[in-house]
Structure 1
């Protein structure tokens, strides 16, 4: 799948970001959404075949709404500039996320600013076995793929219950535990694009499993 139809739709939507335009182009939207869901279904089956712990996530369950939540973000446009979806989307776990945008696409996964109880569980895991997370993050192929943890808001001081001299203090200060890889939408036209998604999924899997183990105990 080349996603050309989806990207063209998103470009036109951003030029005319209104409910009126969307209503007038509802048939086109349904077409690109259905095509996207069909591709998600295909990738869902492929990922399930290589991961024994995979949580079945059909396209209709994995796809995100294209509407922005204006109640919490009133200054945002009515519609997003991308199609987003999650794979291996077991409730209350770190899933694997794919975003198809106009100029860029993203593979990502982990926990984005989790609630205090979940965040505390991750920090407790780092306190107990932080060396395992460091090993995952420092693996050469992992660093080549994702660089490191996603740069987000961090605490200035040590979190409550941990000393400033903790050997993993810089990890403990994080409020987000996620990784991401951005690339051009042109890459989605390549014949091996789906194979690359599988490669990134497998590379990220130990990281996500570490987080999920931390928040499940």
Structure 2
């Protein structure tokens, strides 16, 4: 995949973010999108080969729509400034997300503001064995890659059913359990970019497996 072509398209789209421009450049968009899907397909096969628990997710299934949802966010532009995709997308499991954009690129995963039932399951898992999660989060290579959990909404007090002197109170207060590794355009344009993605996937795997165990047990 020539990611330079993808970045060039997104920059032109940002300058001309309208349905009229997209209609006039529809073929160009599909060429970029199809190339990205092919790259995702190749990555999907690679991850499937190295992880026996991986849930095969073809690129066409994993890629997100480039249209913003204007019904719920009417002030947003018509189109996003990035291409996003989720792989290893088994139902009700922690996501592995790839975003390549002109303003923000990242590799991320976990649960972003999960539904109440999943959130309760994660908290129950932490209550039962929070030490395992702490060990994962505190590992040096994990810290170097992600820096810890994504900062998001957090309770001020212990969640219902847990005491304020709980040994893992700081973790229990979280409403999001996700990590993120930022990417630069320079990294994405490197020949070894796929290897970078695979390495981050491997580093993230124990964290995602821990979360998946809490919501499926």
TM more than 0.5: yes
Q: Matched residues in 2 for 1:75 and 1:104: separation?
A: 19
Q: Matched residues in 1 for 2:192 and 2:100: separation?
A: 16
- Deviation of the 1:91 alpha carbon: 1.5
- Which residue pairs with 1:154 in the alignment? 154
**Aligned ranges 1:160-199 → 2 under 5 Å:** 160-199=160-199
Bigger CA drift: 114-123 or 2-11? 2-11
Cα contact 1:103–1:185 (8 A) shared by 2: no
What do the CA deviations read for 1:8-28 (whole angstroms, capped 9, x no partner)? Answer: 111111111111110010000
RMSD: 0.7
- Deviation of the 1:104 alpha carbon: 3.3
Q: Matched residues in 2 for 1:3 and 1:20: separation?
A: 24
- Which residue pairs with 2:112 in the alignment? 112
- Which residue pairs with 1:132 in the alignment? 132
Q: Which aligned segments of 4 or more residues in structure 1 are displaced greater than 2 angstroms? A: none
Cα contact 1:2–1:188 (8 A) shared by 2: no
What do the CA deviations read for 1:54-86 (whole angstroms, capped 9, x no partner)? Answer: 001000000000001111111111100000001
TM-score w.r.t. structure 1 length? Answer: 0.98
Cα contact 2:17–2:77 (8 A) shared by 1: yes
What do the CA deviations read for 1:134-175 (whole angstroms, capped 9, x no partner)? Answer: 000001110111000000010011100001100100000000
- Deviation of the 1:186 alpha carbon: 1.5
- Which residue pairs with 1:35 in the alignment? 35
SS at match of 1:84: strand
Cα contact 1:66–1:79 (8 A) shared by 2: yes
Cα contact 2:10–2:102 (8 A) shared by 1: yes
Q: Matched residues in 2 for 1:26 and 1:70: separation?
A: 20
Q: Matched residues in 2 for 1:136 and 1:187: separation?
A: 26
Unaligned stretches of 5+ residues in structure 1: none
Unaligned stretches of 5+ residues in structure 2: none
Report how many residues are paired.
Answer: 217
**Aligned ranges 1:194-205 → 2 under 5 Å:** 194-205=194-205
TM-score w.r.t. structure 2 length? Answer: 0.98
- Which residue pairs with 1:26 in the alignment? 26
SS at match of 2:57: coil
**Aligned ranges 1:55-70 → 2 under 5 Å:** 55-70=55-70
- Deviation of the 1:2 alpha carbon: 3.6
- Which residue pairs with 2:141 in the alignment? 141
- Which residue pairs with 1:97 in the alignment? 97
